[in-house]
Structure 1
């Protein structure tokens, strides 16, 4: 197995031609970057779908009247399903072909988009989001593993991963902007219809441009391991979600413990298999573990922040969906800058310094938000979004470089699965955990005697205020806005604490002079 600090990697053994030039197996530089463009276009949609509904939620609530629990499921079931399946789909791609998996997944993504767009009930919409998660799980590890095989030159690969991370981060960040524009003009269903033409064009280009890669000499897929990974990850995530929402109730705690036990059985099984679904021995490498942890926790904090800030802009300040999306644009631009700067910075100062700097930037942003005077002004939010984006871009790009360089080409799907599982599970858990903490704080800050709907959510408060009308409605709405704002700044303290702990762990786990392949 290649060590993360090796200066170069062998050509993919499944490609008999071998590399005909320094950057990729028998392909020109321009064709490699055209392949990257195809992969990134798909990644952009999958990443956008994690956050595009943030600004569409108020109009969707007005139209469908989902319950508070259904609202959370509509938002975070996508990330939870996607995260639960990534380990399995990464292994399937290694065995049966990464191009084949990529194209099939993106077709399913398009079909699921139509199902979600035509929903007339919360149940159908949740089902559509589940299928979107399945399709996304087939696409995302394929993008990173194909990059691992297309770009065999370490220097080119580092830059390609920088673009990949920039698109992943920017996609999540511009989701609210694109969603806001579409929702304002065409309604919430347009947030799904926009996927369809991009799917058609990308699949056509992928059939023509992308190479097929399949690992040689692998065993048949261990379906028992696949079932264990899916049940364990989804059970753990579901348990965390419900414990955060409802406290230590019996059902949530039992499922949380069962999820952890199933994942323990999964790990023990992988250690015994000659060709495991996921080589858990990779986590013996401290830098590999630090990279996965940094991705998970960075996206946990960032995903929740984007969700809550989008709601804050609409509910507290009354911006339209597009206006709210436009005001989240600084995080997309900052993520782009951070991601593209990371490869050069890794070469100059090393992985540990760049990953640590990224996490410290995020920590500074959350502390700024937590300490901002109330009512919070957009100036503080804008600075917070810039620091969040810069830090996230640096941390995610550096982490992806470490994870990808830790495995040989025939196991690139496993690296992609670990990276994407950490990324998507972080977003899903962030919305579930921190979103639930924010909701509990909001409810606690609302005075007794207000309508129950107003205590459940800010959207419920807006409806109750409209029903009351007059001065009483205005007072209720102002009270709810103040409670939402206070809950946001208090939740920022929790996020800052999470990022601080992860920063310390990363600086402890990664050696001072460690360099990932492609960073030198």
Structure 2
């Protein structure tokens, strides 16, 4: 079997971004005759740093206005409902367009152009949203931020997949990506509360623009002076799918938002679901006709990759449940200030950031994703059992802290290996589409997770309240909210139990531990019928 030269073993290994491939088989050659081959060795870790920071900005931006709620209520032109819809608009735009952003990276002459354009657009969108004086302007700014984020994250992930040619280094890099995706919202919680208390809520948005400008400059510096690869030949972008699929996804997601507002799935919500599914079915019918569809079937139908996407969905739901409900519990039940919530969540954030790269780079190669990912689901499930048992007499040190540590370690064991497994065995020409599938799954987990959990609080299937009363002098709505949190933690635990069983069944033994590199000849076609030993 041909072996690609590892980036760490050959000081002049070909740069996957500055070279093209022959007939999709991964044979590196200079982009043009006589062009100097620029080594990626000296820059690949800088690429990881810039890409990670860019992703952190996009992930954190999803909840950037959460801690500004009390200040925004005092703004004469804005209110709490405006903030809730602004955050929903961001998530809807982001989740609907991620597949398009990833596939655009596959067809761009330079992959870096797509995230760079997204970052520059994010600068302008952040200025618009930060300067908003009414709901309409804020919504427009947030939709533009979500659309720009959809260009940034999948394209950045595809750059990591093609930049790190050594399998071990690629696993570590993708593990860092998975950790950032899971902990990004928590890291913003750490900073956002202080910004809101000490400065102004608008600087949460302006800060995103400043960070995006720095990331765009970093990309330009890292990729400056590199020869452009030959343009992809003989391939056509799936324009019909790029127009139809986002509309279908948006309709389905909006159905859950409508159901969350009404407390149940009514006729309007089911109408949105039916319409969205019909639109997505149209994309499926068009797919076989298009030479290069938006999401080739060979990507999600691979057994290991399907298991990885299942794990990513559960990881997104579980981390979202923590960042959505635990801060409110700390504020309402334990009387924490916004600036105290970030440090209180560090016992989850730090293990997640440390364990995810270690799990992807070491544990999976030794024990296989079939062992590591279900173990992570089990630890997270144990953490949610702790959260379910929270009551009026619970304390941070005895009850909340152990739960956060277990969920942090468990999420790291799930997210790192699943991002890495989802990216293995992919051709360079499909790396953007695969990255789009990964990020879309995570975005769906965040969007559907928060809507479904909020819906479960008022649904007849909700568990009876175990808690009779809280020693809390707030209003009745806040007390009811506190008493309903165990329901959200219960159903998150049920999902983790199902995913534990599913990933243990679907992952092959030692899956992706000894697979060929993404651009080796077999991956140019459908996956092999049997796994390599």
Give your verdict on TM over 0.5: yes
Q: In the alignment, is residue 401 of structure 1 matched against residue 434 of structure 2? A: no
Q: In the alignment, is residue 255 of structure 1 matched against residue 272 of structure 2? A: yes
The Cα offsets for residues 430-458 of structure 1, whole Å up to 9 and x where unpaired, read as 222213434679x9999xxxxxxxxxxxx
Equivalent residue in structure 1 for 2:387, among 369, 372, 381 = 369
Q: In the alignment, is residue 417 of structure 1 matched against residue 436 of structure 2? A: yes
The Cα offsets for residues 146-194 of structure 1, whole Å up to 9 and x where unpaired, read as 0111111111111111222222223222111111111111121121111
Distance change in 2, residues 1:61/1:436 (3 Å): farther
Q: In the alignment, is residue 344 of structure 1 matched against residue 341 of structure 2? A: no
Q: In the alignment, is residue 241 of structure 1 matched against residue 257 of structure 2? A: yes
Q: In the alignment, is residue 225 of structure 1 matched against residue 241 of structure 2? A: yes
Aligned match of 2:445: 426
Is contact 1:362–1:388 with CA below 8 Å preserved after alignment? yes
Q: In the alignment, is residue 95 of structure 1 matched against residue 107 of structure 2? A: yes
Aligned match of 2:495: 498
User: By how many angstroms is 1:310 displaced?
Assistant: 2.1
Q: Which moved more, 1:73-82 or 1:169-178?
A: 73-82
Equivalent residue in structure 2 for 1:327, among 341, 344, 351 = 344
Equivalent residue in structure 1 for 2:408, among 374, 384, 389 = 389
The Cα offsets for residues 27-49 of structure 1, whole Å up to 9 and x where unpaired, read as 24331111211111111111211
Is contact 1:116–1:128 with CA below 8 Å preserved after alignment? yes
| Aligned pairs, number | 485
Give the Cα separation in 2 of the matches to 1:272 and 1:348.
42
Distance change in 2, residues 1:311/1:77 (3 Å): farther
Equivalent residue in structure 2 for 1:153, among 134, 151, 166 = 166
Is contact 1:82–1:136 with CA below 8 Å preserved after alignment? yes
Q: In the alignment, is residue 307 of structure 1 matched against residue 324 of structure 2? A: yes
Distance change in 2, residues 1:319/1:120 (3 Å): farther
The Cα offsets for residues 489-520 of structure 1, whole Å up to 9 and x where unpaired, read as 12110111111112211111112332255999
Distance change in 2, residues 1:245/1:496 (3 Å): farther
Aligned match of 1:186: 199
Give the Cα separation in 1 of the matches to 2:464 and 2:131.
37
Aligned pairs for 1:432-471 (under 5 A) are 432-438=451-457
Is contact 2:50–2:219 with CA below 8 Å preserved after alignment? yes
Q: Which moved more, 1:212-221 or 1:296-305?
A: 212-221
Is contact 1:77–1:129 with CA below 8 Å preserved after alignment? yes
Give the Cα separation in 2 of the matches to 1:366 and 1:321.
23
Is contact 1:48–1:175 with CA below 8 Å preserved after alignment? yes
Alignment root-mean-square deviation, CA: 3.1
User: By how many angstroms is 1:66 displaced?
Assistant: 5.8
User: By how many angstroms is 1:8 displaced?
Assistant: 8.6
Aligned pairs for 1:61-76 (under 5 A) are 61-63=73-75, 70-76=82-88
Distance change in 2, residues 1:139/1:373 (3 Å): same
Aligned match of 1:359: 377
Aligned match of 1:195: 208
Give the Cα separation in 2 of the matches to 1:213 and 1:509.
37
Aligned match of 2:67: 55
Give the Cα separation in 1 of the matches to 2:44 and 2:302.
30
Give the Cα separation in 1 of the matches to 2:75 and 2:452.
26
User: By how many angstroms is 1:418 displaced?
Assistant: 0.6
Q: In the alignment, is residue 15 of structure 1 matched against residue 19 of structure 2? A: yes
**What are the ranges of 5 or more consecutive residues in structure 1 without an aligned counterpart?**
447-473
Equivalent residue in structure 1 for 2:295, among 278, 284, 287 = 278
Give the Cα separation in 1 of the matches to 2:130 and 2:309.
34
Is contact 2:365–2:510 with CA below 8 Å preserved after alignment? no
Q: Which moved more, 1:120-129 or 1:87-96?
A: 120-129
What SS does the corresponding residue of 2:54 show, helix, strand or coil? Answer: helix
- Ranked by relative contact order (alpha carbons within 8 Å, sequence separation 6 or more), the top structure is 1
Q: Which moved more, 1:374-383 or 1:157-166?
A: 374-383
Q: Which moved more, 1:488-497 or 1:370-379?
A: 370-379
User: By how many angstroms is 1:397 displaced?
Assistant: 1.2
Aligned match of 1:77: 89
User: By how many angstroms is 1:77 displaced?
Assistant: 2.6
